[in-house]
C-alpha cells in the first residue's frame, strides 16, 4: 500500500545558525561595520572621486541631450549636485552630535579605563565622520565644476551656504589634545620633578631601621629625590612610604591593577614603574616580584642599591 504523502511526517524546519546568517549577510551586502565601531575601510581616493562625480554629470548629459527631456537637464544636473550637498549636511549633523558627545565624555572623565576607552571610541568615530564629510564635499565640488562646464552657470545651493571643511572640528582637536594630555599625565605630568628612586621589598620585611637608614643614604646622595614604590599595605614598601611622609619626600605608588591584569598584575606594575626610568632601585628582601623588578632594572642598566644581602651595593 502506498502511503499517503499528506500523512507523512515532514522534517522539522531548521533555523539558520548565527554563523550561517553572518556568512549570508556578508555574501549579500559585504562587510558592514557596526554603528558603534570605527569604520576600518579606506577612504575614497581623490582620482576615483573626481571620475565618479564627472561621470554622473556626463551620463545625464549624454542620455538627455537631443531628447524631449533635454529642457529638464539643467534641473537634473543641479539636483545631482544638490544630492551630495544635502548628504554633507546630514553627515555634518552626525559630526556635530559626535562633538557634543566628546565634550560630555571629557567632562565625565574620572581616570577610569572605561571613560578613557569611551572617549577614544568617540574620537575614532569623529575622524571617520570627518573623512565621510570631506569625501562628500569633494564629490559635490567636482560635480559642481562639471555642472558649470555643461551649463555655463555656477552651481549655488538654494538653502544654506557652500562650505568646504578641510580641517578638524574644534571638538575633535580638543579631544585629541585631551587624550594626549591624559597619556602624558599618566606617565610624566603628575610625576614630581627630581631624580626618581624606586623601592621594592617584601610584605614580611619589617626592618624599619635598615630601610630608613638606606633611604637616608640615598637621599643624601640624590637630593630632591622622588620615591617610587608598589604601595603595599604592609611590609617594606609601607615603611618606605612612612619614611617619605616623615622626610617630606614626594612619592608615587604604583599599585597592581588586579582587575585588568589578574595574576600578572604585579609584573605589569613593575613594567609601568620602570617605564618612568628611575635612576636607581633600592631592593630589600622580598618575594619573586621584588626579584623580578630588580632583574628587569639590571637589564635596563639601572643601578641597584641592593640590601637583600645587607650590603647595599
- Identify which has the larger pLDDT, 42 or 165: 42
**Mean pLDDT of the region 94-98:** 85
Enter the pTM of the model.
Answer: 0.45
Q: What distance in Å separates the CA atoms of residue 232 and residue 201, rounded to the nearest whole number?
A: 9
Say yes or no to pLDDT of 83 above 60: yes
Quickly state the pLDDT bin for 282 (edges 50, 70, 90).
very high
Lowest mean pLDDT among 126-135, 210-219, 270-279, 287-296: 126-135
Maximum average pLDDT range among 19-23, 51-55, 244-248: 244-248
- Identify which has the larger pLDDT, 104 or 171: 104
- Identify which has the larger pLDDT, 265 or 116: 265
Maximum average pLDDT range among 49-63, 128-142, 263-277: 263-277
CB within 8 Å of 302: residues ≥ 6 apart: 198, 274, 277, 278, 279, 280, 281
Query: Given this model, what pLDDT does residue 160 score?
Result: 59
**Mean pLDDT of the region 88-112:** 82
Q: Is 296 exposed, middle or buried (0-12, 13-18, 19+ CB in 10 A)?
A: middle
C-alpha grid cell, residue 148: 558649470
The upper half-sphere exposure of residue 101, i.e. CA atoms within 13 Å in the direction of its Cβ, equals 16
Amino acid at each position: 500500500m502506498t502511503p499517503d504523502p499528506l500523512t507523512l511526517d515532514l522534517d522539522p524546519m531548521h533555523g539558520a545558525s548565527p554563523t550561517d546568517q553572518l556568512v549570508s549577510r556578508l555574501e549579500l551586502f559585504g562587510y558592514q561595520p557596526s554603528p558603534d565601531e570605527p569604520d576600518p575601510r579606506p577612504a575614497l581616493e581623490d582620482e576615483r572621486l573626481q571620475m565618479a562625480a564627472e561621470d554622473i554629470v556626463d551620463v545625464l548629459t549624454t542620455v538627455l541631450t537631443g531628447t524631449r527631456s533635454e529642457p529638464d537637464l539643467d534641473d537634473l544636473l543641479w539636483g545631482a549636485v544638490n544630492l551630495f550637498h544635502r548628504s554633507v549636511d546630514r553627515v555634518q549633523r552626525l559630526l556635530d552630535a559626535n562633538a557634543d558627545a566628546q565634550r560630555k565624555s571629557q567632562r565625565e572623565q574620572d581616570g577610569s579605563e572605561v571613560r578613557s576607552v569611551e572617549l577614544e571610541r568617540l574620537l575614532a568615530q569623529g575622524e571617520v565622520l570627518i573623512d565621510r564629510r570631506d569625501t562628500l564635499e569633494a564629490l559635490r565640488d567636482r560635480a559642481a565644476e562639471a555642472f558649470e562646464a555643461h551649463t555655463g552657470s555656477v552651481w549655488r545651493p538654494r538653502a544654506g551656504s557652500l562650505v568646504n571643511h578641510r580641517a578638524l572640528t574644534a571638538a575633535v582637536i580638543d579631544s585629541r589634545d585631551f587624550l594626549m594630555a591624559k597619556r602624558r599625565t599618566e606617565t610624566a605630568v603628575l610625576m614630581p620633578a627630581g631624580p626618581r628612586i624606586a623601592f621594592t621589598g617584601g610584605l614580611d620585611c619589617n626592618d624599619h631601621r635598615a630601610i630608613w637608614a638606606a633611604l637616608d643614604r640615598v637621599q643624601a646622595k640624590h637630593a630632591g629625590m622622588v620615591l617610587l614604590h608598589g604601595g603595599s599595605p604592609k611590609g617594606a614598601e609601607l615603611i618606605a612610604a612612612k619614611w617619605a611622609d616623615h622626610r617630606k619626600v614626594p612619592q608615587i605608588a604604583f599599585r597592581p591593577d588586579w582587575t585588568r591584569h589578574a595574576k600578572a598584575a604585579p609584573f605589569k606594575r613593575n613594567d609601568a614603574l620602570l617605564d618612568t626610568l628611575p635612576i636607581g632601585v633600592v631592593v630589600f628582601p622580598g618575594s619573586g616580584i621584588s626579584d623580578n623588578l630588580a632583574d628587569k632594572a639590571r637589564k635596563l642598566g639601572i643601578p641597584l642599591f641592593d640590601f637583600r644581602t645587607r650590603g647595599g651595593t
